[in-house]
Amino acid sequence: MYIMNDVTKRELIIIFVLVYVFSPIDFMTGIPIDDIIVIILGYVIQKRIADKSSRQLVEG
């Protein structure tokens, strides 16, 4: 079974956020609030992945 490494997860998150932000589909048309929420969520998820991978490097 293939398990994605942290770099692949981070790249996928970036791709999904960019696709959502630049797609013509919006949940709240005319208001960029949902785009901002998705960007913030993507950033938080990326930070958690980075923190997790750095803890694994330190612990060995």
* Mean pLDDT, contiguous 10-residue spans, the chain (60 residues): 74 86 74 84 88 72
Crossing angle, helix 33-59 and helix 6-22, to 10 degrees? 170
> Is residue 24 in some structural domain?
yes
Domain that residue 46 falls in: 6-59
- Asked if the structure places residue 1 within a domain, the reply is no
- pLDDT at site 57: 67
Enter the pTM of the model.
Answer: 0.66
Domain assignment of residue 44, yes or no: yes
* pLDDT at 31 (0 to 100): 76
Q: What pLDDT is attached to residue 18?
A: 86
Provide the number of structural domains found in the chain: 1
2 Cβ neighbours under 8 A, 6+ residues apart: none
